[in-house]
A and B are shown apart, each in its own frame.
Chain A
Amino acid sequence: MSDELNLMHNKWWFPLYEFAVHVFVGTLIFIIIALPAVGLNVSIHYLSKLQVDPVVLLGLSVTEYCLFAADLVLFFVFIFSSVLKAGKKLWQ
C-alpha cells in the first residue's frame, strides 16, 4: 500500500486526481444532506395544501433553511480548502 501511495504521490497529476475525488465525495455528501431539506420543502408544499397550522409550516421552513444553509456553508468551505490544498500541491 505504501509503495502504491509513493508511486501515486510522485505523479504530477496526483493533486488533481485527489482534488477530483474530494470534489466528488464532497458533492455526494452535499446532496445527501440537501436531500432532507428538499424533502422538507416538498412536504411543506403538500402540507400547506392540507391547511396545516402555519406555525408548524413555519417551523418546518426554518428547519429546512437552517439545514440547507449549514450544508451550503460546509460545502463552500470544503471546496475552498480543497482548491487551496490542490493549488499548493501543484505549486510545489
Chain B
Amino acid sequence: MAIIHALLATTPKLAQEAAKAYFEPLLKLSAFFRKTYPLHRAVNRHNKNSYIGLSKLIGEMKDKDFMVLWSVADEDKERTMPIFHYLLETQNIQFLNKHTKICSIREALLSRQLDQQDTLRIVFLSRYSQALLDTDDEKNDLSNFVKNNTLRVLLDKDCKLRYASSVDYVDASGASLDKIKELLGKVIELKLRLFLEHNFVNKDVLRDRSHKSSA
C-alpha cells in the first residue's frame, strides 16, 4: 500500500521531468545560439571596427602600456562575463600595445612583450559608448569614466582569469565580477596585472627593467 502511495506521489514529478526532457534538445539548441551568436557578432565587431575608431582616443590616454578593447552590446550585458572568460581561456582576446599592434595575450607573452610587471588596461565599450566618441566632450566623459572605474584583473600563468578587483576594492573576489557586470554597458577600464609565476616571465627583461628603473 505504501508503495502504491509512493508511486502515485512520484509519478507527476516523473511526468514533469519527462516533459522537460522531451524539449531539452530545443532548449540546448536555443542556449547554444544565445551563447554563440552574440559572441561571434561581438568578436567580429571587435576585430573590424572597434580598434580603428578608438585607437586615437586610446593613444591620447596616459599610462598606456597595453590596451584591450572589448565591445559590449547593451543587450549582451548578461552574457558579457562568460564571453570575457571565454576569450581569456582561449587566449583569443586581442589587445593593442603601445605600437598599436594587435595580437593575443598568448602571443604577447611568448614574444615577451608582456611580463609580470606589465599592466593591461581593458576598455569595455557598449554600442552606446562607441557612439559617444564623436565629440570631444564625450571623449572627456569617456576618459573620466575610465579613470574612475579602474579595475584590476589577475591572470594566472595560463592567462586564465584568477580574480578581478577594483583599485579601491582590494579584497576582491566574485563580488568584483558582479561589479564589473554592473558597470558594463557604459565604459569600463580594467587594469590587468599579469600574475605570472614562471615560464612566461623573462627574468632577464625583469632584471634589465629593474636596473633601468634604479638607474
Q: Are B22 and A78 in contact (CB under 8 A)?
A: yes
| Closest Cβ–Cβ distance, residue B9 to chain A (whole Å) | 5
* Interface residues, chain A, with chain B CB atoms under 8 Å away: 1, 4-5, 7-8, 11, 17-18, 21-22, 24-26, 29, 73-75, 77-78, 81-82
Of all chain A residues, the one with the shortest Cβ separation from B15 is: A25
Interface size range on B against A: 10 to 19
A16 to chain B, nearest CB (A): 12
> Which among B6, B17, B18, B24 is the interface contact of A4 at CB below 8 angstroms?
B6
**Smallest CB separation, A78 vs chain B (Å):** 5
**Given A4-B9, A4-B10, A21-B11, A82-B21 contact (CB < 8 Å):** yes
A81: chain B residues at CB < 8 Å are 21, 24
> With an 8 A cutoff between CB atoms, is B3 at the interface?
yes
A70 to chain B, nearest CB (A): 8
Of the residues A1, A22, A26, contact of B9 by C-beta under 8 Å: A1
Is residue B14 contacting chain A, with contact meaning CB distance below 8 A?
yes
Q: Which residues of A contact B22 (CB under 8 A)?
A: 25-26, 29, 74-75, 78
The answer for the CA separation of A18 and B26 in the assembled complex, in Å, is: 22
Partner of A77, one of B2, B18, B25: B25
The one of B2, B14, B25 that contacts A7, using a Cβ cutoff of 8 Å: B2
Q: Does B5 contact A (CB under 8 A)?
A: yes
A29 touches B25 (CB 8 A): no
5 contacts between A and B (CB under 8 A): A8-B6, A8-B10, A22-B21, A25-B14, A74-B23
Q: B206 within 8 Å of A by Cβ?
A: no
Q: What's the minimum C-beta distance from A12 to chain B, rounded to whole angstroms?
A: 13
B3, A22: Cβ atoms under 8 Å? no
Q: Is B131 an interface residue (CB 8 A)?
A: no
For residue A23, give the distance in angstroms from its CB to the closest CB of chain B.
8
Asked whether, in the complex, the Cβ of A21 is within 8 Å of the Cβ of B25, the reply is no
Taking CB atoms, residues of chain B closer than 8 Å to A7 are 2-3, 6
What string of 1s and 0s marks CB contacts (under 8 Å) between B6-47 and chain A? 110111001101110111111000000000000000000000
Q: Do A25 and B7 touch (CB < 8 A)?
A: no
Q: Is the CB of A74 within 8 A of B26?
A: yes
Residue of A1, A11, A25, A73 touching B18 (CB-CB under 8 A) = A25
Shortest Cβ distance from A53 into chain B, in angstroms? 32
The residues of B that contact A73 with a CB separation of less than 8 Å are 25
Bound-state CA distance A65–B45 (Å) is 38
CB neighbors of A among B109-139 (8 A):
none
Which residues of chain A are within 8 angstroms of B24 by Cβ–Cβ distance?
Answer: 77-78, 81
